[in-house]
Each structure stands twice: as C-alpha cells, then as structure tokens.
Chains A and B, each alone.
Chain A
Amino acid sequence: MGGVSGFTDRHYFLLAVIFYGVATLYAVFLWRRGFRQDNRIIYILLLAGAGLHTLAMIKRGFSFQRCPVTNLYEATTFIAWTVVASYLVFGLVRRFRFLGAFAAPLLLGLGVFALMPELDKHGPQPQFRPPASSLHAAFVLLAYGAFGLAGVAALMFVKQERDLKYNKTRAALAFLPSLQRLETVMMRLLQVGFGLLTLGLLLGSGWLKQEKGVFFQPDAKIVWSLAVWLMYLILLVARGWFRQGGRRFAWAAMGTFAFVMLTFWGFNLLSDIHHP
C-alpha cells in the first residue's frame, strides 16, 4: 500500500484519532451554538479521519494478509470504522450531518482506547485462526458498529427531546432531524446490528462445531455475547410489540451500547477462545 515511508498502520490510525479529536472539539463549539445552521466542517473532519482510518486498516490487512479483526486493537478500530463509515452515509442527508457532532466523542474514545499499547501487544500474530473466525469477528464487530451509531442517534434524540421540552427556542432553531425520524434511524440501525450479530454468532458457533465438535461452550465471551444478543432482542421486542418508544427507548439503546463498550474488553480478556 502507498503512504508516507516509515509510517505504520498505527501511525495512520493515530492521525485518524487526531482528526476525531479535532472533530470532538468542534462538536463542543457546535453544541454551544445550538446546531443552528447547516455545517459541513464536522463532516469533512470525520471524512478525513475516516480516510486515514481506512488507510490504516487496509495497510494492516495487506501487511498481514488477513482481515484486521484478530485482537482488541483491531476489533476496537473496526467498530469505530463501522461507526464513522455509517455516519458518512447518513451525513449525506443535510439534517443528519450533525450526527457527526455526537459520533465524534465516541470515535475519539474508541480511538484512544484502541491505541493503548497493551491491546496490540501481540502485534501481527492472530489470536485466533482465520478465515472462518475472521468472518465471525467481522460480522460481530460490524454489529457493534451499528449499535454504536444507534447509541449516537439515541443521544441526539435525547438532546433534541429535552430541548423541545425545556429549551424551546434552541430546539425550534436547531438544524436537526425530527424525533420520529431519529427513532426510525435508531430502530433500523438496531435491526441491522441485531441481524449482523445473529449472523456473526451463528458463524462463530459453526466454527466452534468445526474446531471443537460443539456448538456452544461456556466461555466468558460467548456467554457475554449471548447476553448482549438477548439485551438487544428485548430492546427490539419492547419497541416493536409493546411500543416502548421515545425517551426510554433512546436511553436503553445508549445504555446497552455503553454496557457493551465497558465490558467488551474485559470479557475478551477472560475468554480462553478469544484470548488464548
């Protein structure tokens, strides 16, 4: 792959995180201004970050001849990449462009976390064997990316809903999507994420059967993944069947994703399969 001589994929990722950091600072400014007018700067900053981020992932993938989803560093960068790539698609719609202001802090947080040296200490050595497991990991991480963006949309919903109730002028002049549209986006992202997670877990189970002769093993990460799957299932059922929408649904989408992010690395380390 091309690029600056001597720059590793981590250098490119570091540059991407710097762009996410600048976008976060700019997001504070936009937040204080009340999102009053269409603004492309946040989109451009995240586009630049996403470009470098993609370059870092491609560089690593080509260097090691595998999908870069085999350790915590790679898993975290993959989730962040899914979030930013999905945002760039949504951001093409003007009223969704400010979703970037809500996504930037998440991307910065994920980026800084991924850059912790401990997460990538095994370097290029895969922690589990490709390619079936890579596909499993890719689907699962794409799912977490979709859940992440749903959490970001949920944060935007909560802010918009609060402003509509208590900060009425700010809400009326803000250039943000309607509550119902945000809720639809949240729901669609959760549905897509849930589908991907289901597919990823099925692939993982198939791989386990192939390698160890069983579909299920009481491994910490597997149990945790099933718990996450169940939590999202409950969330979708509650919304679809019991019409538990609005603020509670948004808080639940944010809370569930926060739980995933806060416990993902811990359960990964506890897992014998995922962290041999």
Chain B
Amino acid sequence: MSVVVVGLSHRTAPVEVRERLAFADADIPPALASLRASGLVAEAVILSTCNRVELYAATDQDPAAALAGLRRFLLDSRRCGAPLTTELYSLCEPHSLEHLFRVVSGLDSMVLGETEIAGQAKKAYDLALRARATGRRLNRAFQRAFNVAKQIRTETNIQRGSVSVASVAVDLAGRIFETLERSTVMILGAGDTGEKAAKALLSRGARGLVVTNRSFERAAALAAELGGRAVPFDDWSAEFAQVDILISSTAAPGYVLDRARLEPLLPLRRGQPVLLIDLAVPRDIDPAVNLLEGVFLYDIDDLQSIADDALRQRQEEIARCEQIIRERVRGLLELPPAPQRESTLSATPSARRTAAC
C-alpha cells in the first residue's frame, strides 16, 4: 500500500479556484466515507485550508490509476466542471510523503515556516481519525509528519524571526519588556498597519490600549473594536506616562513627536523604557528621539528590513529542512514491513502538476 496525494495550493491555483474546491469541516466526514466506499483508496485524509485543498490517501491500486481517480473524485465532489489542467498536482511515494512533511513543517506555506498549518493538519487528521478513515499507513505518515515538524522547529531556524511588520513590532517589544502583560499600547492615528500591530500586541497579552486620532469618532470606533480607550488627539501626551509602546501612523505632514516634546515626558516614566513604532510616511517621529536614553524608535523601513532579514534567514534554512525531511521519509519507507516502492510520477516541483483532471 502506498501513500498518494492530489491537491492544489496557493502555489498552483488562485484563490478563486481554491475556494471552489475547498471543503467545509462538516463536508469532510461524508466525503471521506464516500471516497473509501468508492474502493479507490483504503485510507484518506482531507486537508482543506484557505491556502490548500489536498487529498492524502493510502491505496493498494496502481498509483497512476488511483491518482486519476482521486482527481476525478475531487472535482466531482466539489462540482467543479472546469478543466483544471495546471492547478492540480499529483504525487506518489516518496514525493507524496516529502510533500506532506513539507506542508506540515510550514515549508510549503505562503509565510515560510509558519506554524498554523501544523495545527490545521492535526485537525484534518483528527477529523479523519474520528471518521475511521485512516489506518496503519496514514496514521504512521501523519504522526511522523508532526514529529518531523517538531524536529525542524527545534533544530533549524525556519521559524526564527518575524516576517511581517506587525509581528516584528511584537518581537521588538519582547526584546525590551520583560512581559507584555504589564504593557500599555497607544495607537496614534488609526491606520491599518498600526491597527494590525496593535492587534498583534494585544493578542500577545498587552494589558491596555489607548487610541487617538484626529477624528475622535474613528478613534472611538477602533478603541471599541479592540477593547481599548479613546482619547482626544490634542490630549495624547497626557497619557504618555502610562504608555510603553506607541504606534504612530498619522497622515501629518511633519513630526508629531520630536525631541523637544518627548524629553519632558520621559521623567514621568520613572526610568521605564518606551518603544516607538513609526509606521507613517512621511514619518511622524523625529529620528533624533532615538538618542534619548530608554527610547527605542523604529520606522517602517527598520521594521521591513528586519522582516526581510528574517525571511532571508528562513530561506537559508530550507536546505537543512529538506535534508531532515528526506532522511525521515527514507526512514519511514524502510520501516518493517517494507512498503512496496512505487515509481514516482514526478520528481521535480515543476513536474508535479499533472495535466489530467
């Protein structure tokens, strides 16, 4: 029995196609039952996320025939009449297992190395397990995949550093403050990126949020949405003593905060550091404030450069991750009793996609 996979992802198909083939959670158990009842496969797992729809299956049949049947099943069950030629990929061992390990480890994700996919794969596997759609072959493959993802997470730098501006802001706060649970965040100007950064900080436990904007109504709306407090724009400096992280993204043509304005406010903070994140273009905060003790200023270029560097570092780790995956797949395939080796339909990523649909 060998493991095969048919699917499509953000790499091969646009969102309009992905959403047409996506499975809702409730649709998965009947789909698994119907797939097994067809006699095409003995075991199956359906992984359906916003970035991919994949059918993993263990089959006794000839892999090429099984893959053709799975493609038909996928399109028929989603009532997709369009002839998807390049969007779908079909893989058999060992590439199917390598692909599974790569997916679960976040190597095939839109944000390289992200961990959310591991949770989604676990959920998909649990769903199949509860539906009694898995057996010895897929159980072993998925458990090994989760194990490999953990190994990659601990032994490589694939998840190190933050690759988005919002998460870089959170990371920087973690470099300065002992815990975010005692930190108060202020949003100066209710821009979209500022809002994202504030949300990221709040999700990591930031204690309080103060929102200020030239339009008080907009500030009040955002504060209500995020569970914070709105203050009038002219009064924001009165709140500064309590603020640990200030995210500024106003449309002001000049500096909103400069050294002359900040210096008298610092003694009110009684030696506590303050992180200033300037997301505005043109900048809201005079770079000279970074020279003040206890003040740490980052503008949008700083944040982007950190995110780019982290991404570069992650990309440099891909070879190490692939090596681990190859070794672990080899180990899995050599487990007794030795599974029957299948010839591969495709050897390179570009050749993975099959025209049959």
Assess whether A159 is interfacial by the CB under 8 Å rule. no
**B-side contacts of A172, CB under 8 Å:** 161-162, 168, 171-172, 175, 306, 309-310
Assess whether B216 is interfacial by the CB under 8 Å rule. no
Assess whether A173 is interfacial by the CB under 8 Å rule. yes
**A-side contacts of B168, CB under 8 Å:** 172
- B175 to A171, Cβ gap below 8 A? yes
Complex: how many Å from CA A179 to CA B177?
Answer: 6
- A169 to B309, Cβ gap below 8 A? yes
Q: Contacts A165-B296, A168-B298, A246-B293 hold; do A180 and B271 have CB atoms under 8 A apart?
A: no
- A180 to B309, Cβ gap below 8 A? no
Q: Contacts A168-B298, A168-B302, A246-B293 hold; do A36 and B271 have CB atoms under 8 A apart?
A: no
Using CB atoms, name the residue of chain A closest to B174: A178
**B-side contacts of A247, CB under 8 Å:** 293-294
Assess whether B346 is interfacial by the CB under 8 Å rule. no
Contact pick for A180, options B157, B178, B290, B310, CB 8 Å: B178
Assess whether B136 is interfacial by the CB under 8 Å rule. no
Assess whether B270 is interfacial by the CB under 8 Å rule. yes
Among B152-187, those with CB < 8 Å from A are 157, 160-162, 168, 171-172, 174-178
- B176 to A36, Cβ gap below 8 A? no
Interchain Cβ contacts under 8 Å between A and B, 23 examples? A36-B157, A36-B160, A36-B313, A37-B157, A160-B175, A172-B172, A173-B160, A173-B161, A173-B313, A176-B175, A178-B176, A179-B176, A179-B177, A179-B273, A180-B177, A181-B178, A243-B270, A245-B271, A245-B294, A246-B273, A246-B294, A247-B293, A247-B294
Contact pick for A164, options B162, B176, B309, B310, CB 8 Å: B176
Complex: how many Å from CA A179 to CA B272?
Answer: 10
**B-side contacts of A36, CB under 8 Å:** 157, 160, 313
Question: Is the interface on chain A under 10, 10 to 19, 20 to 34, or 35 or more residues?
Answer: 20 to 34
Assess whether A209 is interfacial by the CB under 8 Å rule. no
Assess whether A122 is interfacial by the CB under 8 Å rule. no
**B-side contacts of A180, CB under 8 Å:** 176-178, 273
- A248 to B298, Cβ gap below 8 A? no
Assess whether B305 is interfacial by the CB under 8 Å rule. yes
**B-side contacts of A37, CB under 8 Å:** 157, 160
Contact pick for B310, options A173, A244, A248, CB 8 Å: A173
Among A54-89, those with CB < 8 Å from B are none
Using CB atoms, name the residue of chain A closest to B305: A169
**B-side contacts of A245, CB under 8 Å:** 271-272, 294
**A-side contacts of B160, CB under 8 Å:** 36-37, 173
Complex: how many Å from CA A184 to CA B179?
Answer: 12
Among A228-276, those with CB < 8 Å from B are 243-248
- A173 to B309, Cβ gap below 8 A? yes
**B-side contacts of A178, CB under 8 Å:** 174-178
**A-side contacts of B174, CB under 8 Å:** 178
**B-side contacts of A181, CB under 8 Å:** 178
How near does chain B come to A213, taking the closest CB pair, in angstroms?
46
- B306 to A169, Cβ gap below 8 A? yes
How near does chain B come to A40, taking the closest CB pair, in angstroms?
12
How near does chain B come to A128, taking the closest CB pair, in angstroms?
42
Contact pick for B293, options A169, A173, A248, CB 8 Å: A248
Contact pick for A246, options B171, B271, B302, B310, CB 8 Å: B271
Known: A168-B305, A179-B176, A246-B293. 19 other contacts (CB 8 A): A36-B157, A37-B160, A164-B172, A164-B176, A171-B172, A172-B161, A172-B171, A172-B175, A172-B310, A173-B160, A173-B309, A173-B310, A178-B175, A178-B178, A180-B177, A244-B271, A245-B271, A245-B294, A247-B293
Among A171-197, those with CB < 8 Å from B are 171-174, 176, 178-181, 184
- B175 to A179, Cβ gap below 8 A? yes
The 10 closest A-B pairs by CB, nearest first: A243-B271, A180-B178, A245-B271, A243-B270, A172-B306, A181-B178, A169-B309, A169-B306, A168-B302, A179-B176
**A-side contacts of B171, CB under 8 Å:** 172
- A184 to B305, Cβ gap below 8 A? no
What mask results when residues 251 to 262 of chain B are scored 1 for a CB within 8 Å of chain A, else 0?
Answer: 000000000000
Among B264-295, those with CB < 8 Å from A are 270-273, 290, 293-294
How near does chain A come to B227, taking the closest CB pair, in angstroms?
25
Complex: how many Å from CA A41 to CA B9?
Answer: 41
What mask results when residues 12 to 53 of chain A are scored 1 for a CB within 8 Å of chain B, else 0?
Answer: 000000000000000000000000110000000000000000
Most central of B171, B273, B296 by chain A CB within 10 Å: B273
Complex: how many Å from CA A173 to CA B162?
Answer: 9
**A-side contacts of B306, CB under 8 Å:** 168-169, 172-173
Using CB atoms, name the residue of chain A closest to B310: A173
What mask results when residues 156 to 172 of chain A are scored 1 for a CB within 8 Å of chain B, else 0?
Answer: 00001000110011011
**B-side contacts of A168, CB under 8 Å:** 298, 302, 305-306
What mask results when residues 176 to 213 of chain B are scored 1 for a CB within 8 Å of chain A, else 0?
Answer: 11100000000000000000000000000000000000
How near does chain A come to B45, taking the closest CB pair, in angstroms?
33
